[in-house]
């Protein structure tokens, strides 16, 4: 998914087309789970789709609003079928929604695609946004393995793959025929502060619910009911538990020092790619957590009225780059980080 200049004629035309369908009478999605990849969104889809007041398309990961204008109209398929490449095909996915259902979609590319927030806003300016975030080291390990499996990455050693980032950012050391070179810039995928900021600025912090993958793994039921409350649907319905994807096995000890350097902002590699992975912490220090963090509340939003039938996100769940600081990765997540505490039991 290539970055597109929002001032370009093609992008402006796409935004105008998205705005035009607001008055078409078509069923439009009103909530978007925007990511993150490898953070339990497949399990979340299954659990949300089982709620009688929620409608999700059978096709997961439409990724429609992450596609640039040049990509639209081209054929593409995933494991479930053909992804929509026209606005009409995209809107057709929601035609079977019943009156009164909360209509939404889950596409993990929306969080990492800079243009997606503006496109969602053009289509549905009052949308509710849900983001699942994963502890950065766990995400990078899992994502690297996935890229190896699908042939985008050819470097099997995660440490060496991370060390190649500066060169790959300049277009060198890209595997021949790689269809998605940007995927190989691992640290940019966990630039949570920048990614969430764009959604908060467009939709308001009270309409952005940021949740933690590790919480979802440990308490599917509790986290999904929190999503139900946010969407203002009945939360007492029976939930069929669905296991989130497990963290992949560590592939390189050398990668431990590199990810630790990226996370804490130390070392030449960290300086080269910025401090992207320093952005996110959970709402509180959790027993068995993967993170040691400082969380400062953004202010009480409990008194804010509901808008558009969506409940305001609790202030303790609002992620802001000005109110959180990521400090270290615990040894439970990265066993080669010296001095990190071990999980009890």
CB atoms within 10 A of CB 236: 7
For residue 174, pLDDT beyond 90:
yes
Which pLDDT score is estimated for 118?
Answer: 97
- Rounded distance between C-alpha atoms, residue 59 and residue 79, angstroms: 9
Mean pLDDT in residue range 318-332: 32
Model confidence over 69-97: pLDDT tens digits?
655 544 444 444 578 989 999 999 999 99
* CB-CB contact of 152 with 179 (8 Å): yes
Out of 193-202, 257-266, 269-278, least confident range: 269-278
Q: Under a CB-based contact definition with an 8 Å cutoff, are residues 237 and 157 in contact?
A: no
Number of folded domains in the chain? 1
CATH of the domain at 155: 3.40.50.300
In the numeric block, which tokens belong to residue 154? 């050819």
pLDDT in tens, 31-82: 999 999 888 999 999 999 999 999 999 888 899 999 876 555 444 444 445 7
Angle at 169 between CA 166 and CA 173, to 5 degrees: 80
Of 156, 158, 155, nearest to 176 by C-alpha is: 155
Q: Is residue 271 part of a domain?
A: yes
User: In this structure, is residue 345 part of a structural domain?
Assistant: no
Let me know if residue 309 belongs to a domain.
Answer: yes
Domain containing residue 133: 9-329
The average pLDDT across 257-261 equals 51
**pLDDT bucket at 334, cuts 50 / 70 / 90:** very low
340: in domain: no
pTM summary value: 0.71
Q: Is 44 or 247 the better-scoring residue by pLDDT? A: 44
In a domain, 258, yes or no: yes
Determine the pLDDT at residue 311. 60
Residue 114 above 70 pLDDT?
yes
């Amino acid at each position: 998914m290539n970055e597109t200049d929002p001032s370009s004629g093609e992008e402006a035309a796409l935004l105008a087309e998205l705005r035009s369908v607001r008055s078409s009478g078509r069923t439009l999605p009103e909530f978007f789970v925007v990511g993150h990849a490898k953070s339990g969104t497949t399990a979340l889809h299954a659990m949300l789709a089982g709620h009688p007041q929620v409608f999700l398309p059978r096709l997961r990961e439409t990724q429609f609003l992450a596609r640039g204008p040049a990509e639209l109209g081209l054929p593409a398929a995933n494991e479930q079928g053909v992804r929509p490449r026209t606005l009409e095909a995209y809107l057709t996915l929601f035609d079977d929604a019943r009156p009164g259902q909360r209509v939404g979609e889950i596409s993990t590319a929306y969080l990492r695609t800079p243009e997606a927030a503006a496109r969602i806003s053009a289509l549905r300016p009052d949308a509710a946004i849900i983001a699942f975030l994963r502890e950065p080291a766990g995400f990078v390990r899992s994502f690297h393995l996935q890229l190896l499996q699908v042939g985008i990455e050819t470097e099997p050693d995660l440490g060496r793959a991370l060390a190649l980032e500066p060169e790959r950012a300049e277009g060198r050391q890209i595997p021949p025929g790689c269809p998605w070179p940007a995927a190989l810039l691992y640290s940019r995928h966990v630039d949570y502060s920048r990614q969430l900021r764009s959604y908060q600025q467009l939709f308001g912090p009270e309409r952005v619910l940021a949740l933690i993958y590790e919480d979802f793994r440990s308490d599917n039921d509790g986290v999904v009911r929190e999503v139900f409350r946010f969407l203002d649907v009945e939360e007492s319905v029976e939930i069929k538990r669905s296991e989130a994807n497990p963290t992949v096995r560590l592939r390189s000890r050398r990668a431990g020092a590199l990810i630790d350097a990226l996370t804490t902002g130390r070392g030449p590699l960290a300086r080269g790619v910025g401090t992207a992975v320093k952005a996110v912490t959970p709402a509180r220090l959790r027993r068995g957590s993967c993170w040691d963090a400082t969380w400062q509340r953004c202010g009480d939003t409990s008194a804010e009225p509901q808008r558009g039938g969506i409940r305001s996100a609790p202030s303790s769940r609002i992620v802001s780059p000005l109110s959180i600081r990521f400090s270290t990765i615990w040894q439970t997540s990265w066993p080669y980080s010296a001095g990190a505490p071990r999980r009890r039991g």
